[in-house]
Structure 1
Amino acid sequence: MTTTDTAAAGALPGVVKPTSAEVMEDTGTGLDFGTRADRMPGHLTPNDRFFVRSHSPTPRIDAEEWSLRIDGDAVGSPVTFGYDDLWRAFPLVSVTRTIECAGNRRVLFGQQHGQRIAGTPWGRGAVSTAEWTGVRLRDLLEAAGVTADAHDVMPVALDECGARRPMPLDKAMADDTLLALAMNGEPLPPDHGFPARVVVSGWLGAASIKWVGRIEVSRRPIHVPWNTEDYVLIGPDHPAHGPVLGTPINELPVTSLVELDWPAHLKPEPQLVRGRSFAGEQRIASVAYSIDRGPWHEARLTGSREAGAWTRWHFDWHPAPGDHTISIRATDDTGRTQPSHVPWNRLGYLNNQILEHPVRVAAEASA
């Protein structure tokens, strides 16, 4: 089903697609690459620029040999599907959804708290958006005869570590929870889950398991390292309970991204500052900006404002020479807004505080 092929000169690289510094940020792990904020050309992130987060090297999977098994003690009739079965036997749906790693902005979180934090050293690039096409997970579960007392649904990956993370039945049965087969109109690239991956709308990226080969449906809560030790808020405000070391992360908070380098370098001339804000399962309602900790002004929202996907915005600025900061504060349609401070947690997750984006403006415009 999967191969961990070894080339004559040694192991294959952990990521298949090119990861040029022109468009991607290398975290140094060999597996994880962020999307450069100043290299986002449209609402959708092109496949070659979509961020990569993996726990093991990208597996090479032959679709003709691959199959998906749905089983567990909350399944009436375990079933197995081939790749062609998924394309032909079920309705296909498409949704545009943003995926963000819960550890995005971890390096900045560490700097804010004066500590170095273990984990992938993400800057701001572990977030991207695509149109995903596939089969509703609900349709597959119903075909397997999921029982009324089902509690958790857990996709399991075919990578070396068997990445897996359960979700409650109601989230698995949601209209926009997919087993995706295509990304931005093309079959899934290897690094993004070929031949099939789960897309769990509005939740942390770790829930959207790639390279799925099995889905377990259980009558009881499922505990695995991905929801007891990792992807858990651990700290004074998050006491352990049972095997879980803190508060498991599911839905993502409101966040924002300025489409500039960090730090940015601009000319002293009129600028159109662009960015994106994301509110997990909710919609972005408004975005405000502040220059040099001054008054807040409304940015102009553009394009789509659907739940589960980022919203683009911009504002005009004519900066004077010198050093400046840009601060962004987004609010969603339930009233959640970005805070000025995020309390400490050991693994540096969910850093959605208002950031002061550093900008240096040249003394004079270039000829």
Structure 2
Amino acid sequence: MTSVPVPRLRAAVVGLLATAAALGAGQLAAGLAAARTSPFVAVGNAAIDLTPGPVKEFAIALFGTADKTALLTGMGIVIAALAVAAGLLSRWHWWPGAAVIGVFGLVGVIATVSRPGGGLVAPLTSLVVGVVVFRWLHHVAGMAAIGPGTSTVEVDADRRRFLVTSTLVVLGAGAAGIAGGFLQRGAGVTASQAAVAARIPKVPPLPIPPGADFVASGTPTFLTANRDFYRIDTALVVPQLRAEDWRLRLHGMVRRELVLTFDDLIQRGLQNRLITLTCVSNEVGGDLISTAEFVGVPVRDLLLEAGVLPGAQQLFTTSVDSYTAGTPLDVLLEPDRGALLAVGMNGEPLPAEHGFPVRMVVPGLYGYVSATKWLVDAEVTTFDRAPYWEQRGWAQQAPIKTESRIDRPRAQASVPAGPVTVAGIAWAQHTGIDRVEVRADGGPWQPAELATDVSRDTWRMWRATIDLPPGEHVVECRATDRTGQPQTPQRQPVVPDGATGWHSVGFSCTG
């Protein structure tokens, strides 16, 4: 107990710095112990797992691929507020604030040990350091408080001591956090990617015919650069797994269990595929769709090698961070499906954020049932076992729906009256697009010009010219796949198996 209360600002600083020290120590301990997650990230991942599905969908719709940045920022704000509260609760006594930090530390312990590869070292270190530093800073702050009989010289000396102590804590917490982050990110992953680039047998890129996109008219490029490829997953921080350490166990309802190293995998022979991936969270007109050339080993070949037993229904895949997905076996065993365990993307090893060293890609299925990143386990089983998203109310089967999108003009744009170019993309993966039509202001539909067809597993660009007078206009588009099935106009949300509806864009013409 202090003889006089610690000033409010100083008490708040004590709480903030003790919490920063706890987080930095936890990060460093996780790096030194080669743990897969720090306490801070473990709490964030637990929050993701516990968040109701509609809230997650709202976050994706609001923040898009920046949803994880938003979550981390929100966590930081909440933690800072709790830290300030811990400090303010301890103006007279040190133990209330230490208790708050201790409780939060216990939350970190529970969250970390519940994650694969988490362990106890990092969260316990974080808890102990947080409480000890809080007690220490509170003592120093109390010494600097002005009380009866305290001389000005003593107060100035104690304030300098608090300033120096606080500065040391800031520097120590920052250094620990940076060092721990470096150890967890691992220069080894970057080196592993470079080694993979040299070891992967060169597979000639697939030719993309002229006229595969209408970039000049406003469509995306046919291939999406790796840095621009959409990313939606449950990993708060990108898992770091070296190819040299990678193992895949293919087991369950098979005649012969396989355990593969990275070299075992690539020695089976690589194939490449041009594939458009689509996220089930993609709203009508959304941008959670991208196309790349993937290089990998056919999943079907591995399943045939293992020998699937009668009665098996799905391949239950698990990521290194414990995410799970269930892919129907009848799809994976189709001779012409082209599902891959991918090791390369657009002529490079997989980027870490897209699943390095190995991920799965399956044409024609939404990613949540088919595109497990950082893949480490594959079990042949029945549909009785529910994967991550199915447990949260999403559909068991998830074929991609026929959809189309207008990319030009943009919503609320202003364009000259007269001939207006409308352009966009359409997709019906593993079926292919037969035609796209557009109309303005509810008028008659007119056919759009289609870009050169590349593959039924990729998107197809389109464009049309519509003569429009000055004023406000709304343009709609619809696609028809190669079976003759038109895109439905019925609006459906993304849950449980993907959004539907015609995309429309409102804009004005000036003349």
User: What TM-score do the two structures reach when normalised by structure 1?
Assistant: 0.76
Distance 1:177 1:3 in 2: 32
Answer yes or no: is the 8 Å Cα contact 2:255–2:306 preserved in 1: yes
Following superposition, the deviation at residue 56 of structure 1 comes to 1.7
Q: Does 1:251 align with 2:399?
A: yes
Number of the residue aligned with 1:321: 470
Q: Deviations over 1:92-140 (max 9, x none)?
A: 11111111111211xx6xxxxxxxxxxxxxx611111111110000122
Residues 348 and 229 from structure 1, CA distance in 2 versus in 1: closer, same or farther, beyond 3 angstroms? closer
Q: 1:50-129 residue pairs with structure 2 within 5 A? A: 50-57=229-236, 58-72=238-252, 74-87=253-266, 89-105=267-283, 124-129=286-291
Partner of 1:171, secondary structure, is helix
Distance 2:268 2:296 in 1: 9
Q: Percent identity?
A: 29
Distance 1:305 1:212 in 2: 29
Distance 1:31 1:102 in 2: 20
Answer yes or no: is the 8 Å Cα contact 1:256–1:277 preserved in 2: yes
Quick check: 254-263 or 320-329, which moved more? 254-263
Distance 1:260 1:165 in 2: 35
In terms of fraction of residues, the more strand-rich structure is 1
Q: Does 1:357 align with 2:395?
A: no
Following superposition, the deviation at residue 40 of structure 1 comes to 5.7
Residues 329 and 3 from structure 1, CA distance in 2 versus in 1: closer, same or farther, beyond 3 angstroms? farther
Please, which runs of 5 or more residues in structure 1 have no aligned partner?
Answer: 15-24, 109-122, 233-247
Number of the residue aligned with 1:272: 421
Answer yes or no: is the 8 Å Cα contact 1:31–1:52 preserved in 2: no
Following superposition, the deviation at residue 308 of structure 1 comes to 2.2
Number of the residue aligned with 2:98: none
Residue identity matched to 1:102: V
Following superposition, the deviation at residue 321 of structure 1 comes to 3.3
Q: Deviations over 1:225-264 (max 9, x none)?
A: 42243422xxxxxxxxxxxxxxx34111110011237514
Number of the residue aligned with 1:227: 390
Residues 127 and 346 from structure 1, CA distance in 2 versus in 1: closer, same or farther, beyond 3 angstroms? closer
Distance 2:494 2:262 in 1: 40
Partner of 1:48, secondary structure, is helix
Q: Does 1:212 align with 2:375?
A: yes
Answer yes or no: is the 8 Å Cα contact 1:138–1:172 preserved in 2: yes
Number of the residue aligned with 1:182: 344
Distance 1:314 1:347 in 2: 30
Q: Does 1:198 align with 2:357?
A: no
Residues 31 and 222 from structure 1, CA distance in 2 versus in 1: closer, same or farther, beyond 3 angstroms? farther
Residue identity matched to 1:210: K
What is the total number of aligned residue pairs between the two structures? 310
Residue identity matched to 2:333: M
Partner of 1:30, secondary structure, is helix
Q: 1:29 aligned to 67, 71, 89, which one? A: 67
Number of the residue aligned with 1:288: 437
In terms of fraction of residues, the more helix-rich structure is 2
Residues 212 and 230 from structure 1, CA distance in 2 versus in 1: closer, same or farther, beyond 3 angstroms? farther
Distance 1:293 1:134 in 2: 46
Partner of 2:389, secondary structure, is helix
Please, which runs of 5 or more residues in structure 2 have no aligned partner?
Answer: 1-33, 46-61, 71-214
Answer yes or no: is the 8 Å Cα contact 2:328–2:397 preserved in 1: no
User: What TM-score do the two structures reach when normalised by structure 2?
Assistant: 0.56
Residues 351 and 219 from structure 1, CA distance in 2 versus in 1: closer, same or farther, beyond 3 angstroms? closer
Quick check: 59-68 or 169-178, which moved more? 169-178
Q: Deviations over 1:31-85 (max 9, x none)?
A: 69xxxx998641111111111101122211111111111111x122222111122
Following superposition, the deviation at residue 193 of structure 1 comes to 1.1
Number of the residue aligned with 2:327: 167
Residues 346 and 335 from structure 1, CA distance in 2 versus in 1: closer, same or farther, beyond 3 angstroms? closer
Residue identity matched to 1:286: R
Q: Does 1:43 align with 2:236?
A: no
Residues 172 and 229 from structure 1, CA distance in 2 versus in 1: closer, same or farther, beyond 3 angstroms? same
Following superposition, the deviation at residue 211 of structure 1 comes to 1.0
Distance 1:200 1:224 in 2: 17
Number of the residue aligned with 1:111: none
Following superposition, the deviation at residue 6 of structure 1 comes to 5.2
Distance 1:146 1:339 in 2: 37
Residue identity matched to 2:422: V
Answer yes or no: is the 8 Å Cα contact 1:204–1:249 preserved in 2: no
Q: Does 1:302 align with 2:451?
A: yes
Partner of 1:85, secondary structure, is helix
Relative contact order: is structure 1 or structure 2 higher (C-alpha 8 Å, sep ≥ 6)?
1
RMSD of aligned residue pairs (Cα, Å): 2.9
Answer yes or no: is the 8 Å Cα contact 1:90–1:139 preserved in 2: no
Following superposition, the deviation at residue 309 of structure 1 comes to 1.5
Answer yes or no: is the 8 Å Cα contact 1:292–1:325 preserved in 2: yes
Residues 220 and 54 from structure 1, CA distance in 2 versus in 1: closer, same or farther, beyond 3 angstroms? closer
